[in-house]
Structures are given as structure tokens and as C-alpha cells.
Structure 1
Amino acid sequence: MKNLLLMVWISAIFTLTACSNDDPSNSESGADEEETLEEIKLVLDWTPNTNHTGLYVAQAEGYFEEEGLDVEIMLPGEAGADQLVASEKADFGISAQESLTEARVQDIPIVSIGAVIQHNTSGFASPKEKDITNPADFEGKTYGGWGAPVEEAVISSLMKKEKADVDQVDIVNMGDTDFFTAVQRDVDFAWIYYGWTGVEAELRNEELNMQYLTDYSEKLDYYTPVLTTSENMISENPKTTEAFMVAVSKGYEYAIENPEQSADILIEAVPDLDPELVKASQQWLSPKYKDDADRWGEQDIKVWENYSDWMYENDLLDSELDAKNAFTNEFLPN
């Protein structure tokens, strides 16, 4: 009887051992095959909107994970995206050519690695009843802005073409007040991105007059927004940077081809957004991500030189920009 029990016990041990060896999760080789995702921080320039759709698509569709990345999408807070990227508290960020140009001239080591939208879709907007149909009509009106020197310079540049005087414009800081509230109170016109605020006006059945920057100067057709990273990230982690851009490119290509589905992804990721606005904005913006470029994200040195020249000519820069080091296309997939 004792011998029988011993044989049963030995048989059970062999059976358990065999099962354990057949289970990859319990084997050393199985543990080696498990891929550890690299944790990455991506900081937005503002609250989530359709400029950022491709990022949320890349996250939801698993494109980041396919490239071995675990990406946390962060809001900028008081520090701002450029500062967080430059100080390497975030690996990648969303910025704009104008602020990155200022940063580069001040020796802040951030670089643009992709254009989110190929052409500038911003301009000065006003309710139709204000009867502001060209920059000359800015005279005697109140502009509501955020207090940046570039605002007066752009307004002046447009008005000069119409032989009008920027000194005749009352420029006020409207802070966090939204466009629609501001123009109902003490503001006549403001600088907006049509793809969001302009589309919202359409949904509200509020007619706007628009003076797009690109209608008045080729030099104002700059990249806004752009994806950024630090010089250190590029030099020390080029494979990670390339992997990130492969995933992001897939996300924006998806959003170009599937505006309705990509809008749903953004709405699910950020439930506080107005679904009707997101869907309408996405339909308007999706064709503009890539537009006439050969591939999404492509940047042209002429665009960087044109705008930095304009900034320098308008005393917005202390020195000229070395444009070739301000951006790179090397991490975009072919």
C-alpha cells in the first residue's frame, strides 16, 4: 500500500512539472518573450480638440503599442508644452511654429518633428453684423486677444496692405473668455482657428466674416500646430522618436481617411467635448491635415524661413532663425 501511494505521488509530481513546462507564462523563455512597453509622455498645447485626433486614434487603435510605446497624453498646465518638452519633463509635445521659432532664437533646444496641419487655417473673425470685411475695417474697432506681441504685429501687417493704421485699433486682453461671449460684450473681432471656432459658429447659425492670414501674406502660411521634441531626445533616443512618429502618422492617416470614426474615437476619449462640434470639425479638418503634401507631417524649409523672416522684420525676434535646425522630417515614415 505504501509503495502504491509513493508511485501515485511521484506520478503527480511529474504531471505537474510537465504542465508547468508547457505553460510559456511559467517558463523563463516565456518571460523573455514578454515585451515591456516604453513609457512616453506627450503634452498637448491646449485642451483636447480635433487638432489632436490622430494622437487619440494612435492610442485607441493600438498603434503606439505596436511600436512598443505606452503613451500618456497630458494637458500642459501652467508650465506650457514647450517648457515641459525643453526641460524633458515630457518626451513629445504639441506647439506651433511661431512659439517654437521664438524658443529656438532664445537657445531653447526644442525641434519640430511633424506638421499636424499643412497650412495655416487661422484668421481674424467677427460677427457679420460688425461689418468687418477687410483689415482696413479694424480701425475704430476693439480686438480681443491673449496679450502676445505677435498679435499686434500681424494685425499691423495686414492693415498696412490696406493703408490702415493699427494705432486706431483698441487691443484688449480677453483672457479665458470664449470668442462668442467676448463678441457679445466689448470685443469686435478676435483671432480664431476656423476648424474649431469657425465650425462652432456654423453650428450656432452665427455668420462670421473672416480675414484668413494666408489671404494677405505667403509668409503667414506657417505650420500650426506642430509636434515637438527635445534635441536630447533626438540624439539619445532616435529609435523611440521614430517609433513615436510611425504610430502618430498612422493615427493621422486614419483620421484623414475616416473622419467620422476618428471623431467617435476622440469623443470616447474625451467625453466632455461636444459630440456635434467634434464631428463637424473633424469633417472640415481631416482633408487639411495632409492637404497638398506628399505625406502627412511633411515640413518645408521655405515655410520656416518665410515666417521667421517675417518675425524678424517685425521686431519679434532678437536674431534671425537658423531654420534648418528648427525642424526635421527624418522621423516621418516613407
Structure 2
Amino acid sequence: MKTKKIGLFLLAFLLVLATAACGSKNAQTTGQGTPSGETSSAGGGEPKQLKDVKVVLDWTPNTNHTGLYVAKEKGYYEEEGLNVDIVQPGAGGAEAMVASGKVPFGVSVQENVTQARTQGVPLVSIAAVIQHNTSGFAAPVDRNIKRPKDFEGKTYGGWGSPVEKAVIDSIMDIDKADVSKLKIVNMGEADYFTAVKRDIDFAWIFYGWTGIEAELRKEPLDMLYVKDFSDKLDYYTPVLVTNEKQIKEDPELVKAFMRATSKGYQFAIEHPEDAANVLIKAVPELDKDLVMASQKWLSPKYQDDAKRWGEQKEQVWKGYSDWMYEHKLLDKPLDVENAFTNDFLPQQ
């Protein structure tokens, strides 16, 4: 949820395709994780063998991920016979690790799944972590950016991604603004708060993390949520993903993982302060005040107006993929039906 790169992973994906056949054979044993063979004697019966499972994050731990940490801390995964290890992404990103079968589950975003699938990479989204897009363009209030037309004469800090450039062009066009009057620079790994004091006027952030941090810093922002400019930009970010091979060969593992994960996010929805404390305990280097404030803001947004946490709608996948195709971000339209599934969400 921290400001992050929203870009193309196609090179990594194509490399993954070349190695997927051999990589998938080691799906449960590749990399560093908890030792296999852990047991549990919960309930007083004979020790139960737990299945080692990894889930890879999309970024450093934050409140987008709280439900995963809750499910681990509260024993929901163990109840399903799983010993879950939450790991950081490698150089190729979470998508590459999941697509290759190196890990069975990961955190991604709808645009990356869309780009991957149109290139033949077998990622499948199995849950929307947050029901509506909470990202947008943020600027300190002294820059007086209230609408896209106010981007004129300003400097945007980004990462050179075709997606972000297309979104900026699109919303400026809606506001009849001249995109040639906007300067775009690469802010690299610079912290948002450092960058806006140094050489940029605004950047793309997730409000639930960077925006909340700005509130705590008493540095007010003007926030332009991208979803407010087009229904097609109200896409799912982040999502939980697996790959087609995992679904085909071990659907029961996917069901078990999602039963426990759903319980974790439901707990976070109902008990944001307790859930925040779970995340703080698991990742003590995080700012406690930021985690608590972010969790209180985000917990109601996990499910929002959906009938259950994680629910995904075909119209959301089609709307955003159509938008990407219209803006030449995809080589071909997305086969929406196979890009996501609600089949592994627990029935209410």
C-alpha cells in the first residue's frame, strides 16, 4: 500500500514461461521457509502433519496484508492443516514467483494479472483484497492541485510505467487539460514525502498508507482518486493470485488457503485495532501509529459493498482490461472469464 511501482512485468513473465515446467515441480520446497514436518497437537488428538505453504507479498508488509498475518497468528491456517510462511517478493516480483509455481499464492494487482494473461502467463486472481481502488494522485495542498487541469505546469514523480502515463493522459483529457504542459520525472525509490519537498509536485499513492501517514505528519494532501474519473479505473488493487496448474492439480489446497485467509480478513473487518496489533507484532519495525490509523481507515473498505470479502465482478475485470486495450497497453483483449474466479471463496 506504500507508493509502489505500477508497471510492466512482461520480461519477467516471459522468462517464467521458459522455466515454469521445471520450477513447478518444486513448488513447496524452493527457497527459504519454515522447516517441513511441523506438527500440531491442537485439540488433544494425535499430532497433525501440516503442509508447508508460501504466500509472497507484492511489497513490504502493510495493512493490505493484515488478513494474512491474522490468519497465521490466530491459527486459522493451522486449522486447515497449513503451515503458511509469508515471504517478500524476489527480484522478478510476486507474479513471476507464483506463475512459475515457485510459490502457490501471492499478492498482485489487477493490471499485472491482466498484462500477464494476455502474454500467456497462467496467473489467476482468487480474491480482491480491497473492493474499490483506493489509489490516486496526491499533492501537498500548497501546490493547489484540485483537478487534473491543475497538473499543467507541475512536475509528476513516477516510474516510467506506460500504465501511469496512460491514466494521467486519460484523466487530463477528460478535464480538457494540456498534457504537454506536465513535466514527468522518474522518482525512483525516493520516499513520497522527501520527493515532494525536493523536486516533484505530486505522485500516485495508496491513500490508506501514504495518505494516512500524511495525516499523522500533519501534512495535508489534495487527493484525486483515479476511480472518480472513470468507472473503468475502479479496478482491484491488490488481489490474491495463484496459477492455473495449482488450481488444476490441488484445488483443495486453494480452498483451504482461502477459507483461512477469508477468516483473517473478516477478523480485520470486525476488529481493526486487534488486527493492527497482530500486524505490529508480526512486523515490529513498522510504525505502530501508522499501522493502527491505516487499519481503522482500511478495514471497512476490505469488503465495502460486496456481499462477501474477496468477491470479484466480471464487469470490473472487463472494464479495466477494455480500458487498457483502448489505450494500447495490451496487445489483445483479455479473456476475462479465465482471469479471475470466486469459486474458492467460502460460501456465506
TM-score (ref. length: structure 2): 0.86
* Equivalent in the alignment of 1:9: none
Q: State the Cα RMSD in Å.
A: 0.8
In structure 2, what residue type is equivalent to 1:106?
A: Q
Choose 1 or 2 for highest CA Rg: 1
Distance 1:70 1:315 in 2: 42
Distance 1:65 1:117 in 2: 25
Distance 2:46 2:179 in 1: 65
Distance 2:130 2:151 in 1: 28
Is 2:233 aligned against 1:233? no
Bigger mean CA offset, 106-115 vs 168-177: 168-177
Deviation, 1:34, is 2.9
2:311 to 291, 294, 298: 298
In structure 2, what residue type is equivalent to 1:182?
A: A
1:143 to 156, 159, 170: 156
Distance 2:242 2:294 in 1: 27
Q: Deviations over 1:186-232 (max 9, x none)?
A: 01100000000000000001110011111110000000000000100
Deviation, 1:182, is 0.4
In structure 2, what residue type is equivalent to 1:194?
A: Y
1:178 to 185, 188, 191: 191
In structure 2, what residue type is equivalent to 1:292?
A: D
1:53 to 44, 66, 73: 66
Is 2:142 aligned against 1:129? yes
Distance 1:181 1:77 in 2: 26
Distance 1:270 1:171 in 2: 34
Q: Deviations over 1:8-38 (max 9, x none)?
A: xxxxxxxxxxxxxxxxxxxxxxxx9432111
In structure 2, what residue type is equivalent to 1:263?
A: A
Distance 2:141 2:221 in 1: 5
Deviation, 1:167, is 2.1
Moved runs in structure 1, 4+ residues, more than 2 A?
Answer: none
1:265-276 correspondence runs (5 A): 265-276=278-289
Alignment length, in residue pairs? Answer: 303
| Structure 1: segments with no counterpart, 5+ residues | 1-31
Deviation, 1:253, is 0.1
1:247-258 correspondence runs (5 A): 247-258=260-271
* Equivalent in the alignment of 2:27: none
TM-score (ref. length: structure 1): 0.90
Distance 2:47 2:257 in 1: 20
2:234 to 221, 226, 230: 221
- SS of match in other structure, 2:346: coil
* Equivalent in the alignment of 2:120: 107
- SS of match in other structure, 2:311: coil
Distance 2:320 2:69 in 1: 30
Is 2:86 aligned against 1:70? no
Give the fraction of aligned pairs with identical amino acids, expressed as a percent: 64
1:163 to 176, 179, 197: 176
- SS of match in other structure, 1:287: helix
- SS of match in other structure, 1:129: helix
- SS of match in other structure, 1:158: helix
* Equivalent in the alignment of 1:40: 53
Q: Deviations over 1:285-317 (max 9, x none)?
A: 000000000000000000000000000000100
- SS of match in other structure, 1:247: helix
1:197 to 210, 218, 221: 210
Is 2:294 aligned against 1:281? yes
In structure 2, what residue type is equivalent to 1:39?
A: D
* Equivalent in the alignment of 2:92: 79
